[in-house]
Amino acid sequence: MSIPTPRPLHPSLGAEICGLDLRETLSAEDRAAVAAALAEHIVLVFRDQTFTPGEYLAACSQLGTPMAQHYSQHNMPDQPMIGRIWHRNGQLPAERWHTDHTNRERPPKATILYGVEIPPQGGDTSFANMRAAYAGLDSEEQERLAGLKTVNGLDRHLTDTRSEDWEKYDIPAVHPVVRTHPDHGSRALYFHITKARCIEGMTPEDTQTLLQDLLDRTIRDSNVYRHSWRQGDMVVCDNRAAMHRAHGDYDRRHPRTLWRIILEGDRPV
């Protein structure tokens, strides 16, 4: 098997790789090609995939090592490495821009989503190129931000988090506001606004003001790819260079179910 040439989906980020059944075994060369495409395009879309939970876990495992997710109440009981994104159990859409699991010392390098049940309208997921966001700042602000670090923990506004997840995953993790991609070498803005308790040396209130101002100024249509889901889509997002958000603009009488796997990453630098 050889990986088809990625087809760009947006001028800033996102590419589709056609004609690939990820239930098949990828060679070492193919896995390297997918990793290189992800580092370059930040978001990869694989259409028309058909997975059982076990097949989905196996497919994602070819791209990296799956890691445990917190908010374990949403994990699949018989496949706990797979999280379910759905509203049936009261789960709310993550509509604010974020990058996943910044409360971990080694946050995930990638988030992989699989479209299982898709509403007839709405429910998209948007992805923002945070390299472009960083590059759009003037050099003085880039230098100032490069010296800042966030202190991260679990989201305190979510009241359904299990006590064992608080104990295991709410250990402060410190990360740079600007991180360098280990494969691509580029720099990107990096933070999760609701997991950032504070920036070192700043109050929580000033931290939230600064981070929200950055989001407001740097994320725009020119660096956002909005993915309209089809059943069978598998989308891989590079958390080291992107933020993403859900759109809750769909009729809750229709199901919207995504399966999520996250892959082990390295310590942001």
The upper half-sphere exposure of residue 69, i.e. CA atoms within 13 Å in the direction of its Cβ, equals 24
Confidence (pTM): 0.96
List the beta bridge partners of residue 243: 128
The one-digit pLDDT tens for each residue of the chain (269 residues) are 678 899 999 999 999 999 999 999 999 999 999 999 999 999 999 999 999 999 999 999 999 999 999 989 999 999 999 999 998 777 888 999 999 999 999 999 999 999 999 999 999 999 999 999 999 999 999 999 999 999 999 998 888 888 999 999 999 999 999 999 999 999 999 999 999 999 999 999 999 999 999 999 999 999 999 999 999 999 999 999 999 999 999 999 999 999 999 999 999 99
Q: Is 234 helix (H, G, I), strand (E, B) or coil?
A: strand
Q: Which domains does the chain have, with CATH numbers?
A: 7-263 (3.60.130.10)
Contacting residues for 75 by C-beta, under 8 A, at least 6 apart: 69, 81, 82, 83, 84
H-helix segments, the chain: 28-41, 53-61, 130-135, 139-146, 163-169, 204-218
Virtual torsion, Cα 109, 114, 120, 125, nearest 10 deg: 0
Tell me the three state secondary structure of residue 188. Answer: strand
Is 124 buried (19+), middle (13-18) or exposed (0-12) by CB count in 10 A? middle
